[in-house]
Chains A and B, each alone.
Chain A
Amino acid sequence: GDSVIQMQGQVTLSENDFLFINCTYSTTGYPTLFWYVQYSGEGPQLLLQVTTANNKGSSRGFEATYDKGTTSFHLQKTSVQEIDSAVYYCAMRDFVNYNQGKLIFGQGTKLSIKP
């Protein structure tokens, strides 16, 4: 079935380090892909999305490229800051039942930044 895989449950970095969070997806076709960020005590909020394969999305210094060849949508940031500490979720829209709005989320990656 459709799935989104984030292998890294937790990532700990220092300020100004490079961030790379893995995400791979499995489905038929080319779904819209998302990264959501969830700060402590809040609901997930959209960080970026990409609809078209091979395109790149970016927001607030974060980037992700939709790679249909490797079915990946890894998240990167050149220099992380303490305020980036949060849980990051990779997600995709259900491609087959596109009009029903279902989002499929990965397990989430908790990012902790040491000051």
Chain B
Amino acid sequence: DPKIIQKPKYLVAVTGSEKILICEQYLGHNAMYWYRQSAKKPLEFMFSYSYQKLMDNQTASSRFQPQSSKKNHLDLQITALKPDDSATYFCASSQYTQDTQYFGPGTRLLVL
């Protein structure tokens, strides 16, 4: 059974709309993360959360908002979508922020 679930697997959106990317982990971890992988850039760190509290935010835009409703959930809300937001978004988790990170399968977002 998959230990980190990301939904949906694929997502197509129109410019200006808003989407929520879902992430749930069943590893019993206390820290969760979001990374972005676009066509011409390496995996980029976006956010880290520990015990549902924001630890680090490396996104330049407030259009990206993580939401942690439960300890094992870290969703990513993206507002006012732009074509440049097209990328694969990976959720990851670890026991603590100093520990090995495990990645989910990703959500591939295409903004038209």
Q: B52-96: which residues lie under 8 A (CB-CB) from chain A? A: 55-56, 58, 90, 92, 94
Chain B contacts with A in 22-50, Cβ cutoff 8 A? 31, 33, 35, 42-45, 48, 50
Chain A count of residues within 8 A CB distance of the other chain: 24
Residues of A near B100 (CB, < 8 A) are 46, 49
Chain A's closest residue to B6 (CB) is A43
A108 and B90 within 8 A (CB) = no
Once the chains are docked, how many angstroms separate the CA of A25 from the CA of B58?
20
**A-B pairs under 8 A by CB, number:** 60
Taking a contact as CB atoms under 8 Å apart, the answer to whether B48 and A100 are in contact is yes
The verdict on A89 contacting chain B, using a C-beta distance below 8 Å, is yes
Chain A positions within 8 Å of B45 at CB level: 102-104
Report the minimal beta-carbon distance from B44 to chain A, rounded to whole angstroms: 8
A107–B42 contact, CB under 8 A?
yes
Asked whether any CB of chain B lies closer than 8 Å to the CB of A98, the reply is: yes
Pair B98/A99 contact, Cβ less than 8 Å: yes
Q: Which chain B residue lies CB-closest to A100?
A: B56
11 contacts between A and B (CB under 8 A): A41-B105, A42-B105, A42-B106, A43-B90, A44-B43, A44-B90, A45-B103, A89-B42, A101-B33, A102-B45, A103-B35
